[in-house]
Chain A
Amino acid sequence: KCKTLTMAEEVKLYGTWSSPFSRRIELALKLKGVPFEYIEEDLSNKSPELLKYNPAHKKIPVLVHNSKPIAESQVILEYIDEIWNNNPILPQDPYQRAMARFWGKFIDEKVLATRMKANFAEGKERELVTEEFFQQMEFLENELNGKDFFGGETIGFVDIVAIVVAIWFPLTQEVLGVDTFTEEKFPVLFKWIRKITEIDVVNECRPPREKHLAYVKARIEDLKSASK
């Protein structure tokens, strides 16, 4: 097949700097040493390209590989792992793969929603949802089970997905001034957080702290005034 000099492999990522879903794709690409062009989207004014590449959801992240779009962050992660198979993200064994997918789904579909509710609910509902959140964190702790990372000795699919817990959860907590997610309650998870946030490439792919803090503060203010 004929390849042009400059476009042997064209990889573009449409994302936003503050989104954990977008950042996890950056991390996967960087882990595998895949050069890519990053396009920052303004979600209040979505580009024609984004709408063309993800008409079903109109969301970021979208990976475009040689003009072919892929959407949904966990689908993108699996695609990246299949195309560039150095530094594998998913295990080879079918049962281990199923477990990795299970925990990835659990985090994105259950943990995130519960955490949101726990942060903003009031009274009895807050108590109940916070209890649910604690149970979910316990499940994650049990899954770590003496390993450095969910992926074992190196970070894998679940670690990459769970970075939202490692970085976004403590930050939101700091802004809200709550202390539900603590080292005291979850020492195993906090040990994992320390380990994962020591990794250079993970830190290269996280939002800059001050900017992120300001952003989260502003979003929380918006949510609070919207619910009044």
Chain B
Amino acid sequence: MADEVILLDFWASMFGIRVRIALAEKGVKYEYKEQDLFNKSPLLLRMNPVHKKIPVLIHNGKSVCESSIIVQYIDEVWKDKAPLLPYDPYQRAQARFWVDFIDKKMYDTSRKTWATKGEEQEAAKKEFIEVLKTLEGELGDKPFFGGDNFGYVDLCLIPYYCWFYSYETFGKFSVEAECPKFIAWVKRCLQRETVAKALPDEKKVFEFVSVLREKIRVE
């Protein structure tokens, strides 16, 4: 019996992009269902009643929620190809730690670079750069966070890149100027077909963020 895999997602979501990259890395065929986040579908509400959020992976009728949990699930189910998490338990723990760090630090801070103004925005920019610098420190001289190979941490972090143009434009700063090593890592990731195909156009994301800013009345 063939696997039935459905992904409930939103095109610009950095969390959804993680899952798309993971599925592509594993060569899993799936049905993509775009969700309207301002008018949530009965399917989404039924499959993620606790959070009512995307992404949701529905595998043979059973739903898995939370992007980092979905990616680990994908890695464990389709384990014969393209391992995402390291083999060694200590390295695995480090990978989970850094994805947890990214989840705790990137979203709120990065959001404030475009969703706020004045002092709050300045503080958010500073904090955002500090987060990137911490990540640069962890990367060190390795080509990827996973070492020689693209892995779980790289996969969970790279989707934020398509939002950088929006952060930099609304926040009036340049990531490359402050964190060149980070951008060098980004470019290595973008050479990977699964990543390049999964990331939406940063200008389209910018248009979307512009609409969001209107909705929440930033100016």
A residues within 8 Å of B by Cβ? Answer: 56-57, 65, 68, 70-72, 74-76, 78-79, 82-83, 94-95, 97-98, 101-102, 105-106, 139
A-B contact pairs, 26 of them (CB 8 A): A56-B101, A57-B101, A65-B90, A68-B90, A70-B97, A71-B97, A72-B96, A72-B97, A74-B100, A75-B97, A76-B93, A78-B93, A79-B93, A94-B76, A95-B59, A97-B72, A97-B73, A98-B64, A98-B69, A98-B70, A101-B69, A101-B72, A102-B64, A102-B65, A102-B66, A139-B50
Q: Tell whether, in the assembled complex, residue A106 and residue B50 are in contact, meaning their CB atoms are under 8 Å apart.
A: yes
Question: Once the chains bind, are B69 and A75 in contact (CB under 8 Å)?
Answer: no
> Apart from A68-B90, A94-B73, A139-B50, what are 9 other A-B pairs with CB-CB below 8 Å?
A56-B134, A72-B96, A72-B100, A75-B93, A94-B77, A95-B59, A97-B76, A98-B72, A139-B49
Quick one: closest B residue to A92, CB to CB?
B76
Residues of B within 8 A of A106 (CB): 50
Q: Given A56-B101, A97-B73, A79 and B65 touching (CB < 8 A)?
A: no
> Inside 8 A of B94's CB, which chain A residues have their CB?
70
Contact A102 B69 (CB under 8 A): yes
On whether the beta carbons of B62 and A95 are closer than 8 Å, the reply is: yes
B38-79 contacts to A, CB under 8 A, are 49-50, 59, 62, 64-66, 69-70, 72-73, 76-77
B92 sits at the interface (CB 8 A): yes
- The complex places the Cα of A78 from the Cα of B92 at a distance, in Å, of 9
- How many B residues have CB within 8 A of the partner chain? 23
Does B89 interact with chain A (Cβ within 8 Å)? Answer: yes
CB distance from A161 to the nearest CB of B (A): 14
Q: Which residues of A contact B73 (CB under 8 A)?
A: 94-95, 97-98
Contact across chains for B89 and A79 when beta carbons are under 8 A apart: yes
B134 contacts across to A, CB distance below 8 A: 56
Contacts of B93 in A (CB 8 A): 70, 75-76, 78-79
A70-B93, A98-B72, A98-B73 as given contacts; A75 in contact with B66, CB under 8 Å: no
B79: nearest chain-A partner, CB-CB: A94
A102: which B residues are within 8 A, CB to CB?
Answer: 64-66, 69
With both beta carbons as reference points, the residue of chain B lying nearest to A99 in the complex is identified as B64
Interface string of B121-142 (1 = CB under 8 A from A): 0000000000000100000000
The CA of A56 and the CA of B98, in the complex, are separated in Å by 10
